[in-house]
Amino acid sequence: MRYPIIRDVAECVKGYADDLVSYLPDADVPDDECNDDESGYGDIRLSMTDDGSWEIHTGDAQYDTDHRGYWGAETVSAGASKAECRNIARDLIEQVKDDYAQVNC
């Protein structure tokens, strides 16, 4: 099995973390009026198939309709640093490897 490169996954994680910044609540809006989308965190998942293709999924996992392959899941904070995104990418890939090993043991 050929796994994705950490750098490539980290770039996707960083892009999502940067996108989350636009959902942060306005400082003038009281906390009790904020939506869950404005929490400053988002769910991110890495899925990979047997042919080595991979895809990043973001947001609520209940909308993931294709559950084939091997998966890893994490939470990323809005505006996460490159180092944080790299660590998340590394963890996502490790989870995919573990999922693959469990299914193919």
The number of distinct structural domains making up the chain is 1
Q: What's the number of CA atoms in the CB half-sphere (13 Å) around residue 40?
A: 6
- Domain membership flag for residue 75: yes
For the stretch 37-49, pLDDT in tens is 557 899 999 999 9
- Domain membership flag for residue 31: no
Percent of the chain whose pLDDT exceeds 70: 88
Q: From CA 98, how far away is CA 86, in angstroms rounded?
A: 18
Write out the residue range of the structural domain in which residue 90 sits.
6-26+39-103
CA-angle at 78, arms to 76 and 80, nearest 5°: 70
Full-model pTM: 0.85
